Amino acid sequence: MHRQARCGTIRAGTEANVREIILDTETTGLDPTGGDRVVEIGAVEVLNAIPTGNVYHVYINPERDMPDEAFRVHGLSSEFLADKQVFEQIANEFAAFVGTDNVIAHNASFDVAFLNAELGRCGLPPIPQHQVIDTLTIARRKHAGGSNSLDALCARYGIDTSRRTKHGALLDAELLAEVYLELTGGRQAAFVLGGSGEERRGGGVVVTMRARPVPLPARLSPAEIAAHEAFIATFAEPLWQTLGVIDSNTAIAAE
């Protein structure tokens, strides 16, 4: 099992990086108030909607039998779960992994209701509603009228689901992380222009500067170039230099 706890908004320099937790659960049934329990948690950490590789995954002994209908969904038997820890034993590390960051789930009310019931049994505070983002709600707004199941969204966005023969919390959380990236336009956080050349990085942006086979002749006179340089010098910290995307000489050559 994977357990790497980290919580809170991460800051790099003066830029705030938004940490969120995308998760899924598997359970013994549909009713957390009627005796059904959580048997698996899979959670993926994302930073600015991009997965970091930091995950939390655990199987849990539900301290009860596994109904046949639930077993057919996720394939987790009572025998397999018998030697796993009970929720109380993993509650604190799970809460620490989530921290105060947003929790993202598909049909989030289901997962959060189960997790809050389990946390409540352990005397721990629930995940507050303001901390929850439901990708199903986002998908219904974006793709009204279409199917918005996880499988349907993966098909819509060309996400490979060939490993998904049964429901599994970690795999489903990983797939949902890709879906969330598409739903929120997060792929624009890192993009590449061109196919070869020098890469310049800054602020999460990757731009490939392609060299011309034959440089264009200068269209500016020496006096115009000097005037441009004098004008640029009046900027305390030009945005393009801060991002490392383009320097002043390149800017002049491009004019």
- In angstroms, the CA 255 to CA 244 distance is 19
Compute CA 99 distance to the chain's CA centroid, rounded to the nearest angstrom. Answer: 15
3-state secondary structure of 164: coil
- In angstroms, the CA 253 to CA 246 distance is 11
3-state secondary structure of 50: strand
Residue 228 is a catalytic residue: no
| Nearest to 24, CA basis, from 79, 123, 106 | 106
Residue 209: exposure state from Cβ atoms within 10 A (0-12, 13-18, ≥19): middle
Residue 104: exposure state from Cβ atoms within 10 A (0-12, 13-18, ≥19): buried
Q: Which of 57, 74, 106, 167 is catalytic?
A: 167
Question: Tokens in use for 110?
Answer: 């289901």
Active-site residue set? 167
